[in-house]
Structure 1
Amino acid sequence: MSHDRPGGRRLPLVALCVVLLTGTLVSAVVSLAFGSEPLSVSGVIDVLRSRLTGVPGADPTYDTIVWELRAPRVLMAMVVGAGLALAGACMQTLVRNPLADPYLLGVSAGAGVGATLVIVLGVFSGLGIWALSFGALAGALMATVLVFGISMAQGGITPLRLILTGVVMSAAFSSVSSFLVFFSADPKATQSVLFWLLGSLSGTVWQQILPSVIAVTIAGVILMSLHSWLDALAAGPDVAAGLGVPVKGLRVGLFVLVSVLVGVLVAVSGGIGFVGLVIPHLARILVGALHRAVLPVAALGGAFFMLWVDIAARVIVRPQEIPLSVVTGLVGAPIFLLLLGRRHYTYSGG
């Protein structure tokens, strides 16, 4: 798979990362002022200053809204956006297909089955706030094991086999979720399942953030340490093998890494489309195809993008919320079509 940017020079990596990081941090502060109840940015800054320095003085109402309700959600949006962008960049290299996204392996659909069981049947209800995340993660890991097992039983992990197995299993898992929803006697449960399947960060609490941060950080470090192998794999399995890359082992490792990462993220946010598809494309247009540049830019771009998607989801039909995938679809589809018209892709087997 090759990615060609017509004309022009690549943007300086460090400068671009600084701009993206600054924009993300500023957007995070601004986003704390948006919601069903608009707040002043100065009041938000007072809360942050009070919390970070330990000096009291912030308005108690602002403190509750900003720190307890919105701050966890904002941080989770950044983590999920960065993680999905990393997973998307890795998946496109793994299957050597620019149309691949993090949910190609059926992980999201498997998580949907687990979440549906929790919402409709009350499975794992004894886990409290962790019930939905645990059920979704269990479903995602189940899907990972099944896709991996089927692929290995059919002759090993190859891009085509992964794509076909993932698509088929996604359809099967989606059918199971639909079956459970169809026979649910509780309309509220049905609505909750639909809202979760389309992605939502509402109800995020501080305790849920650390596992996601750890998963994204570990995945990012591993992928950056393998950037040269990823470049070789993107050039084709024969080229990679000729350069000494253990292609089979790398494919298995990337499959497991992406599956676990996506499983953790889907467990806390539901299925959020287009982030892992569009953001890696934008990163490659800006800095080229080398993974040592693509990965950090994609992660920062994903965090920035998800922040504004979450803002839009909160304010467009305030005080109600729009599922995140509705926003990412409306924004991401035209962006992707525009990018598709500017780029040329070639494919090779493997």
Structure 2
Amino acid sequence: MTPSTSPVSAVREPDPYPYYATLVAERPFAHDETLSAWVAADAEAVSAVLRAEELRVRPPAEPVPAGIAGTPAGEVFGRLVRMTDGTLQRHLKQVVVEALGRPDPGATARLASARTRAVLDRGGEVPYEELMFSVPARVVAGLCGLDDGADDEAARLIGDFVQCIPATATPEQQRVAAEAADRLQKLLGPGIEQGGQGLLGDLVRAARAADWADTAPLLANAIGFLSQTYDATAGLIGNTLVALARGEAVPPGADGLELLVREVVRHDAPIQNTRRFAARPFRHRGAEVLPGQQVLVVLAAANRDPAANADPHTFLPGRTDPAVFTFGADAHHCPGRELAVAIATGTVGALLDAGVQPATLPTSPDYRPLANARIPVL
């Protein structure tokens, strides 16, 4: 196998971690001419970049991708806390964090198990793609109060919407995403307006407690609950199954599978990298990132930095206080971390309870051709 030559192509290789280790040891923060970007690889550089106020999550000149600007997809995109910066973002982020902290992880895992069993009860071959992508979206839709088929529709629509997020999105994907965003707003809007039970009610109540009155960003971030679940949780479920296929054992105890899932988050991160864009000069270790330049933040490499985690290449569920960068940090840490872990634990647990044998799965699967999400094809 040809060794990795890029932290972007590495995402979809069977074992990118020796390459990442080289980056950490030899080029912890350096400019990559091929990518036309700076690359932050070790834990110190990744931490510095993620907390830097000089850097933004979107290019300052293009806060919303040009292809969806002025469409429902652009309206949603431009209001997502994960895609914005500044004082208002921090205020709204507090609301989102508060709301996502309300669902009970145990109840969420049980809901994921039930949705997984419903899929398996149809019989036939195990539909891993549906379990990885659609089941988590249905779970979050259910937490938002959607049922009687609306959860299935939301899962399908969010798959259409997330197509607009990558920079490689085609005009057709952007058109479909705009239609999906419009329909998702109609599905989720009543829950925001009524502020009833479930996750949408929690979001409205958190907003009131924080003196946030504008409902449009709440609706956009309700859609964000679904979109952030999509690739990240699919990768977490898939990579957990691959770990089991490679012979990793579930630790004993009631929380054994959860501990294994949490180690997968660190050891084989579902989201391997993210990007930041310089609005003002940013300096680190004598290097200077100029306005207009970008930084590729290799989260998966920092997870395996020996300065952050002892014996980092060993798969060790139950680590004490591991340093985990997969879900970001500082103002843009992902507030859905516990939700993702609960859904993956419930889904994989239901598969194991149903007698599915991970040993029959490939130990070196192909991976979807994505630039930042590591999602195996099972």
Q: TM-score, normalised by structure 1?
A: 0.32
Structure possessing the higher relative contact order (Cα contacts under 8 Å, 6 or more residues apart): 1
Q: TM-score, normalised by structure 2?
A: 0.30
